[in-house]
Amino acid sequence: NYSQLVDCDLIIEAVFEDRELKAKVTKDAEQFLESNGVFASNTSSIPITSLAKSTINPQKFIGIHFFSPVHKMKLVEIIKGKKTDSETLAKAFDYVIKINKVPIVVNDSRGFYTYRVFERYTGEGMALLFEGNSAESIEAAGKKAGFPVGPLAVSDEISIKLIAHIRDQKWRDLDRKKKDLESGTWDNVIDFMTKEVKRNGRASGSGFYEYPKDKKKYLWPKLNHHFPISDTPLDEKEMIDRFYFIQVIETIRCFEEGVLTKVVDANIGSIFGWGFPSFTGGTLQFVNNYGFKEFKNRSQELSDKYGNRFSCPKLIDEMINNGDTF
């Protein structure tokens, strides 16, 4: 009953990641907003500027992205659309502070900062599985690297079906804009799990893991049958480097593109948002600690082996030449 929202000064929609559904809910609820109120979307990936087209007043529309489970996760990602005004940003920031959360502010982009980088972790885990590394070794490497859980386990937690839905929404949107559609071996794994064996994640009862009632979860025994283990699997250090570098490189790209404007937001966002290992200092501090020249060289090695997604961003060259750090 939307009439219960009469004269609210802040409304946050948090419906499923579907553009049309969000547009409908926004139109239905916005009419009850207080005249100078703020309408926010809790989307994790759909660009705020495009969602704002469904609103009466795009200047008062903003992204306020919470993380699950909300009662435990401290971070909130605030996303400015192209037309979001400074008053709306200030109100969103104050709201996040008042509910005792930690805000970061980013500019609009598909996936924003946090999901865009986080999906690199889950995607790399699936790529490693497709390449013939055992699920057990992949999960062990993720935890050895310092992540709270392995990439396959966290994919189950957020739902492989949701990962597929967000990807498909992105592909539909980009196809409409006639842009190149990025895909990789992780997409083969996503499609296999969601379409062929219908194992959509923990909420559906099965995913990369089995979830027996009142018992500890365990990896699906048939995973290594459907994704046979290679005669030359990667060692743990190589997998750990891939987990680190794929996320750090994507973070640098976000910084290059202006999605991120503050180093501290990148570091805090990565640690509090999805559990990037705190001992690294965060995704950009990782480069400071690793060494810029060493980071560039290792990126090149990984790119030569595994593809352009590991290519070192040009910003690193500029920072090396200028003697800068993050």
Q: DSSP string of 107-159?
A: E--TTTTHHHHHHHHHHHHHHHHHTT--HHHHHHHHHHHT-SS-HHHHHHHH-
Q: Where are the beta strands (DSSP E) in the chain?
A: 8-13, 33-41, 61-66, 75-80, 102-107, 209-210, 218-219
Residue 47 confidence (pLDDT)? 94
Tell how far CA 215 is from the center of its chain: 30
- Domain 2-107 identical in fold to domain 114-226: no
Q: What is the mean pLDDT of residues 49-57?
A: 94
Closest CA to 117 of 306, 303, 257, 295: 257
Beta strand extents in 212-314 (DSSP E only): 218-219
Quote the tokens at residue 118.
């986080």
Which tokens is 93 given? Answer: 């920031």
Query: pLDDT digit string (tens) for 156-209?
Result: 999 999 999 999 988 888 775 545 557 799 999 999 999 999 999 999 999 999
- 3-class DSSP assignment, residue 218: strand
| Tokens coding 192 | 């296999």
State pTM to two decimals.
0.94
Mean pLDDT value of segment 293-322: 98
User: In terms of C-beta density within 10 A (0-12 exposed, 13-18 middle, 19 or more buried), how is residue 228 classed?
Assistant: exposed
Q: Can you give the C-alpha Rg of the chain in angstroms? A: 20
Displacement of CA 11 from its chain's centroid (Å): 24
Q: Does domain 114-226 have CATH number 1.10.1040.50?
A: yes
**C-beta separation of 269 from 113 below 8 A:** yes
Under 8 Å CB-to-CB from 93, ≥6 apart: which residues?
78, 103, 105
Report percent pLDDT > 70 for the chain.
98
Across the chain, mean pLDDT equals 95
Residue 5's pLDDT band (boundaries 50, 70, 90)?
Answer: very high
Of 19, 178, 42, whose CA–CA distance to 115 is shortest?
A: 42
Q: Say whether 286 sits in a helix, a strand or coil.
A: helix
Distance separating alpha carbons of residues 164 and 111, to the nearest angstrom: 14
pLDDT given for residue 170 in this prediction: 87
- Give the CA count within 13 Å in the CB-facing half-sphere of 146: 13
Q: How far apart are CA 280 and CA 267, in angstroms?
A: 9
Highest mean pLDDT among 1-5, 28-32, 181-185, 192-196: 192-196
Residue 181 is predicted with a pLDDT of: 58
114-152: pLDDT as tens digits: 999 999 999 999 999 999 999 999 999 999 999 999 999
CATH architecture, domain 236-322: Orthogonal Bundle (1.10)
Report yes or no: 270 and 282 within 8 Å, Cβ to Cβ.
Answer: yes
Q: ω into residue 69 within 30 of 0, thus cis?
A: yes
- Residue 281, pLDDT score: 98
d(CA 302, CA 259): 25
pLDDT at 169: 87
| CATH architecture group of domain 2-107 | 3-Layer(aba) Sandwich (3.40)
Active-site residue flag, 226: no
Q: What is the DSSP letter of 44?
A: S
Q: Residue 37 — pLDDT band, cuts 50, 70, 90?
A: very high
Catalytic residue among 65, 165, 225, 226: 65
Kindly report the length of the chain. Answer: 326
pLDDT of residue 180: 53
Instruction: Give domain limits for the chain.
Output: 2-107, 114-226, 236-322
